[in-house]
Chains A and B, each alone.
Chain A
Amino acid sequence: MIIEILYPSSCNLFGDRGNVLYLKRNLPEAAFIETGLNDEPYFVKNEVDLIYLGPMSEAMQMKVRDRLTPFKERIKHLIDSDVFFLLTGNAVEVFGKEVVDKDGSVFKGLGLLDINCQRDMFKRKNNLFKGKFEDIAVVGFQSQFTVTESREKGLFKKIYGLGLNLLSNYEGVRKNNLFATYLIGPILVLNPYFTKKLLSLLKVDKETLYLEDEVIKAYRMRVEDFDRVARKQRLS
């Protein structure tokens, strides 16, 4: 199995490196290729099983878009060929159509996903999210300047939290095997059951996750804590 991590030193704002670390521990046989911002991505000339891209600053979004634009057709082909992608935080915006800022500026994405975003740099949205992936409860944090309108399939069915936008029933976007979520940080560590599911979709035969007992214990405590906060906020 070959996993390519795109621009890990520049696109790792919120401890998202934890996802890569956890994948490495769970997939000791896999080859992990870390591509620097000024290197040609490995996927351009080679087959890969999973491509990971984490969140980045707004200026970095432009740089990443510019680096990936020459390979747009190749990326489209990979998405259409069911290659796995995992995009976290605002990485999805690079693959989307555009981000319109409140100040009038427009960031044009690669246009590979049918999503449009609105950005307000003076309104940061921090919130706890809970949703479902099939029958699995997924929890995580959103911390972003944008809200998104999507014509793509949703990734997580929203139970509470912002999701793509307040009115949306979903968080994240799924297109074939491209999984894009606004959840930030080590979502794979935070969500062991989802990670197991993802690994099974990747056809990895793994009965027990790395540090499964501890990770599930932390997950259960977190779900309980999130629900407590959600109940409190609803009551107030």
Chain B
Amino acid sequence: MSQIRFYLTLFIVKSVIRFMKLLGFNATDTPGRIALILCPDIIGRIKLPNTVLAVTGTNGKTSTNNILSQVLRNSGYSVIDNAFGGNINSGIASCLIQHCDLKGVCDYDFACLEIDERSAGKIFPYLTPDYLICTNLQRDSMMRNANVEFIFSILDKYLPASTRLILNGDELNCCQLGKGRNKSRTFFRVDLQKDEVCRDNIIKDVTVCLECGSDIRWDFVRNHAIGQGHCVNCDFGSPECKYIMRRREDNKLFIETEGIVKQYPLVGFRIVDYYNQTAVVSLLKEVGLTDEVISAGLENTIIPKSRFEEFNINGKKIISILSKGMNAIAVSSSFDVIEKDKTKKSVLLFLDDARDAVKSSELISWIYDVDYEFLNDENIRQIIIGGKRSIDHKVRMLMADIEAEKISTSINVLNMVEHLDVKEIETIYLLFDVYNVPEYKRVSEKVKQLCQREVA
């Protein structure tokens, strides 16, 4: 009976997907939701690709999974992934159903699945990844994720013991995953780079030893407790790492594996990109791919444009960064990138959660976890804040001692560009939230037009 239900569900949901595509919709969550209602254990019934790779973590999982699937495809493997955006159980179900045949077989070499850490309990009972990367476990939207310990407890509870873990050795929370249970736990880290400026962020998710509560002695903290540290009292601390990103030279990344350093084509120039790429290289080497295959795969790999986009209009740079509102660490990281750019800059911020604005009134607490102090930079000539919460952001900026004359607010996001003066400006940054993409596109277009007019 349950088999009949399974095949019937596959047939119905595949038809739904086809119909949605005919109408021009992306088959993201909805087909999966229908499938889970009709056949709740459908994820466990589909025959998965030969090797299942998963990526989870608070920040960087989308980019990492994207790099991973691109490298494998570039290397000639058949790959399925959930890059269209569904990383909870319904998104995973949609992805698998879309790529399996009517017998429920996903005949591919690899599945590269981005998995929402909060959804571990709804996915891992049905799907056991062969390998799983955890990029980090950090503070996120408090309404959804409460606190890091809470997310850790969910993920750790449901992680299958047989999954081989690839963990960020520079992040002490995620290093504890599978401890004493998962047989294979491999760590990677990124060395402190020459001339790298470490930031003292407002929030650090590891402030004392997670075992005994004593102080941590840090060798270095890159940002937000990402770094190398050890308890002053017990043996708790950063683990021995098998894969170490040593340095970057031009467009090459040098990663050491058990004493041997190899170079790989560089995917992105930010420290977070080094982490994502090192995670991917570590995993693929664990899977058994050679350095040559990995390097060839990385050659044409790019960071998804929806995350980081750069345009050059007659000498003026427009840089867009998806900054995940309500996620203080992601936004602070974007501010860090802006601060390190020494050109004359304008910054347009629109980080309100559009969905939340409709259903509720957006929580603004997180903006006091964000390092607005990074924007107190003489090279920033203008900061334009858009959205309903723009006054709250302005108050926070003033508390960071940013000059009031530099700050403009616009409740209507689309009117932000009216405040923008690009005359003396070399770079314009657009920071937007994951739920503001349509507005971002319109604002971005207006900024481009303004730059074109200015030059003309």
Contact = CB atoms under 8 A, between A and B. Distances in A.
Interface of A: 9-10, 12-18, 21-22, 25, 36-38, 57-60, 63, 66, 121, 124, 126, 128, 141, 143, 145, 184-186, 189-190, 211, 214-215, 217-218, 221-222, 225-226, 228-229
Contacts of B147: 13, 57
Contacts of B45: none
A211 B368 contact: no
B325 to A, nearest CB: 13
Interface residues of B, number: 36
Contact of B368 (A9, A15, A36): A15
B365 A59 contact: no
Contacts of B208: 10, 37-38, 63
B363 interface: yes
Contacts of B399: 18, 21-22, 25, 211
A13 B140 CA distance: 10
The 8 residue pairs across chains A and B that have the minimum distance between CB atoms: A185-B365, A15-B368, A18-B368, A15-B365, A218-B391, A225-B361, A9-B207, A57-B149
Contacts of A18: 365, 368, 396, 399
Interface in B364-411: 364-369, 388, 391-392, 394-396, 398-399
B202 interface: yes
B368 A124 contact: no
B202 A38 contact: no
Contacts of A63: 208, 213
B361 A128 contact: yes
A143 B363 contact: yes
A193 to B, nearest CB: 15
A10 B207 CA distance: 6
B365 A14 contact: yes
Contacts of A145: 146
Contacts of A12: 203, 369
Contacts of A9: 204, 207
Given A214-B398, A229-B359, 9 more contacts: A15-B328, A15-B368, A15-B369, A25-B399, A58-B150, A60-B149, A124-B143, A185-B364, A215-B395
A210 to B, nearest CB: 8
A217 B143 CA distance: 25
B361 A222 contact: yes
B148 interface: yes
B366 A124 contact: no
A184 B142 contact: yes
A214 B366 contact: no
B343 interface: no
Contact of A184 (B215, B359, B365): B365
A59 B399 CA distance: 31
Contact of B149 (A15, A21, A59, A226): A59
Given A14-B366, A63-B208, A218 B361 contact: no
Contacts of B395: 189, 211, 214-215, 218
Contacts of A16: 365, 368
A38 B368 contact: no
Given A10-B208, A145-B146, A225-B361, A17 B366 contact: no
Nearest to A38: B215
Nearest to B364: A185
A82 B115 CA distance: 51
B360 interface: yes
A17 B373 CA distance: 14
Given A13-B142, A143-B143, A211-B399, A37 B365 contact: no
Given A13-B147, A14-B142, A124-B146, A186 B365 contact: yes
B394 to A, nearest CB: 6
B361 A15 contact: no
Contacts of B366: 14-15
B214 interface: yes
A40 to B, nearest CB: 14
Contacts of A190: 364
